[in-house]
Structure 1
Amino acid sequence: MDPIRVVLFTEVNSKLGSPFLSILHGHPDVDLAAVVTSPPGKLCSYFTDDEEAVDVADRARALGVRVLRPRSVNDPDAVEALAALEADYFVVGNFQQLLGASLLDLPRRSAVNFHPSPLPEFAGLAPFYWMVREGASASSVSAIEMGRKLDDGDLLMQHHVPLSGRETGLELRTMQERANVLMLLDLIPHLVENTLERTPQDVSRRSYYGRPRDEHYRLDFSLPAAVVERHVRAAYRSPGAWFTAPGGQRVRLLSAAYGEEDRPALGERPPGTLVQGGGGLYVACADGDWLRLVTVECGGREVAVDDPAFALLGEAMTVG
Structure 2
Amino acid sequence: MNIVFMGTPEFAVPSLDMLIAEGYNVVGVVTQPDKPQGRKKVLTPTPVKAAAERHGLPVFQPVKLRAPEAVARLAEWKPDLIVTAAFGQILPKAVLDMPVRGCVNVHGSLLPKYRGGAPIQRSIINGESVTGVTLMFMAEGLDTGDMISRVEVAITDEDTSGSMFVKLSEAGSKLLQEEMPRLVAGETTAVPQDEAEASYARNLTRDDEKMDWNRTSRELFNHIRGLVPFSGAFTMWDDQVFKVWAAANPEQADVLASSDAGQAEPGTVLQLGKNGIEVRTGDGSLWLTEVQPAGKKVMQAADFARGGTLKPGMVLQ
- Common fold by TM > 0.5: yes
**1:200-242 CA deviation, whole Å, 9 max, x = no partner?**
0011000002111111110101111111111111111221001
Residues 15 and 172 in structure 2, CA contact (< 8 A), matched pair in contact too: no
Could you say which residue in structure 2 is the equivalent of 1:248?
239
The match for 1:15 among 10, 25, 49 is 10
Deviations 1:5-62 (A, max 9, x none): 2000111xx213322222222323x21111111124378x9xx9xxxx9643344244
CA RMSD of aligned residues (A): 2.4
Distance in 2 (alpha carbons) for counterparts of 1:174 and 1:232: 18
- 1:171 is paired with a residue of what secondary structure? helix
Q: Is the 8 A contact 2:136 2:148 kept in 1?
A: yes
2:35 is the alignment partner of 1:35: no
Judging changes above 3 Å, is the alpha-carbon distance between structure 1 residues 278 and 165 closer, same or farther for their aligned structure 2 residues?
closer
Secondary structure of residue in 1 paired with 2:270? strand
Partner residue of 1:70 out of 62, 69, 72: 62
Per-residue deviation, 1:256: 1.1
Distance 2:28 2:36 in 1: 19
1:273 to 268, 282, 286: 268
1:42–1:74 CA distance, 2 compared to 1 (3 A): farther
Distance 1:274 1:242 in 2: 15
* Residue type at the aligned position of 1:319: G
Q: Which residue of 2 aligns with 1:286?
A: 282
Give the deviation of 1:71 after TM superposition.
Answer: 1.9
Match status 1:195 vs 2:192: no
AA in 1 matched with 2:5: L
Alignment pair present for 1:87 and 2:93? no
Residues 111-135 of structure 1: CA deviation (Å, up to 9, x unaligned): 0011000000011111111001101
Instruction: Please tell me the residue identity of whatever aligns with 1:154.
Output: D
The answer as to whether partners of 2:34 and 2:46 remain within 8 angstroms in 1 is no
2:122 matched to which residue of 1? 130
Indicate which of 301, 305, 309 corresponds to 1:305: 301
Whether the aligned pair in 1 keeps the contact of 2:12 and 2:169 (CA below 8 Å) is: no
Secondary structure class of the residue paired with 1:157:
strand
Instruction: Show structure 1 runs of 5+ residues with no match.
Output: none
Runs of 5+ consecutive residues of structure 2 not aligned to the other structure: none
2:31 aligned partner, one-letter code: T
Alpha-carbon spacing, 1:58–1:125, altered in 2? closer, same or farther (3 Å): closer
Cα distance in 2 for partners of 1:77, 1:42 equals 25
C-alpha deviation, 1:172, in angstroms: 1.4
Query: Residues 36 and 69 of structure 1 are in contact (CA less than 8 Å); yes or no, is this contact kept in structure 2?
Result: yes
Q: Which amino acid aligns with 1:266?
A: S
SS of residue in 1 equivalent to 2:165:
helix
Structure 1 stretches of at least 4 aligned residues deviating more than 6 Å after TM superposition: none
Query: Does structure 2 retain, via aligned residues, the 8 Å contact 1:147–1:153?
Result: yes
